Amino acid sequence: MAIYAIGDLQGCYDAFTCLLQKLHFNPDRDQLWLAGDLVNRGPQSLRTLQHCYDLRDNVVAVLGNHDLHMLAVMEGCLSPKRKDTFQDILNAPQRHKLAQWLHQCPLMHENEDWVLCHAGIYPGWDLATARRCAREVEAVLANPQERQVFFTHMYGNEPAHWDESLQGPDRWRTITNFFTRMRLVDDAGNMDFKFKEALTDAPEGFSPWFAWHNRVPLEKKILFGHWAALEGNTHCDDAIGLDTGCVWGNQLSAYCLETGRWTRCKCQH
């Protein structure tokens, strides 16, 4: 058995199936850990999501910001954006089945040695806090009434830092932003939501969450996506970036948890 962690698919179906072929992926023995953002921006969101669903017995997919955005649109809580490319899912007869599966996907997944999430883990959290906070929002998403409230108030950049006393939509939004949108934090631990570029261009006073000066050490290594400009290079031993910019014409990458080997496939649109 092998576990392969794969970066943001974002509707790049051809690259996804090409990568699985290169991996000689065997659904009878192997498992895929998908770092979220299964849909949007790429050309084939429906085929990509359907393929993940078909492999669901061998797939663990954490939710990314694009997945949550699409779910909010499907719930009627938000309007589509001009650049969205998941209309094929909205029009599909199986859309409710696919949405139901996504609603059950976690924000964070772990085994004995590894943690998977879309954007990262807030550097002021220990693993127990991260686990507890992830379960809170996952429970909201599993509740049809509560997730309507969640999706309606999901977008926003405030609060930008963690406060255990937060409640309701503000608390859910902050937790979700940590897991699905975070890249840089300042010295006080406040998130920045504008910067998407390479680390060499990071503004003064900000650092990537995985290199924050007061980061709480975790007893497991973290796998994450979301930050294509890193091209997988974190220069950090316990945080591995999986997003290598497939949807932007670069590569889709898989990291084998057992061997530490990378397998890559050039994205073809």
CA 261 to chain centre: 21
Helix (H, G, I), strand (E, B) or coil at 158: coil
Compute the distance between CA of residue 208 and CA of residue 186 in angstroms, rounded to an integer: 9
pLDDT at 269 over 60: no
State which residues form the domain around 108. 3-266
Helix or strand holding residue 71 (H, E): helix 65-74
The pTM of this model reads: 0.96
Tokens describing residue 146: 């509560």
Task: Tell me which residue has tokens 């631990």.
Answer: 189
Give mean pLDDT, residues 146-154: 97
With beta carbons less than 8 A apart as the criterion, state whether 157 and 102 touch: no
Please report the pLDDT score of residue 41 as a whole number. Answer: 97
Tokens describing residue 196: 């998407």
pLDDT averaged over every residue in the chain: 96
Q: Band the pLDDT of 22: cuts 50, 70, 90.
A: very high
CATH number at residue 97: 3.60.21.10
Angle at 169 between CA 84 and CA 194, to 5 degrees: 50
Compute the distance between CA of residue 204 and CA of residue 218 in angstroms, rounded to an integer: 26
With beta carbons less than 8 A apart as the criterion, state whether 181 and 37 touch: no
**What are the pLDDT digits (tens) for 193-244?**
999 998 888 889 999 999 999 999 999 999 999 999 998 888 888 999 999 9
Compute the distance between CA of residue 267 and CA of residue 22 in angstroms, rounded to an integer: 13
* Domains of the chain: total: 1
